[in-house]
Amino acid sequence: MIPKPAMIATAVAGVIAVALTASFGLQAQGTPATPPRIEAPRLMPGDVLRADQVRIIENPGQYGLGSGVRGSRYAIAEGHLIRIGPKSLRVQSVIRTKVRPVD
């Protein structure tokens, strides 16, 4: 006959072995989802744009903006709401991305 402590030790070892080799957690079905990519703005402060790339905003309130900073204008370029130098067309700041012009 097998002593009781040995029988308990064998049973515990068997349970541990099963637990280590089996996966009791939920498993995803299909391909794993890819995390969303965070894209950096393509326009950066200091970039100089051509006149045909820029659409000046005449009514900043339509975009939730105030009157603006002296010596700059709001504009949309490449889907970005930006603040630019009115003569140089140099990007002073990128305010928002993924913006569509309001007609």
Q: Which residues contact 22 (CB under 8 A, 6 or more apart)?
A: none
Contact 34, 68 (CB under 8 A): no
C-alpha–C-alpha distance, residues 80 and 76, integer Å = 5
In a domain, 27, yes or no: no
pTM, entire model: 0.59
Number of domains in the chain: 1
In a domain, 62, yes or no: yes
In a domain, 9, yes or no: no
In a domain, 89, yes or no: yes
In a domain, 19, yes or no: no
Read off the pLDDT of residues 13-55 as tens digits, 9 standing for 90 and up.
776 766 666 665 555 666 667 777 766 558 899 999 999 999 9
Contact 59, 101 (CB under 8 A): no
**Enclosing domain of residue 82:** 51-97
Residue 74: pLDDT over 90: yes
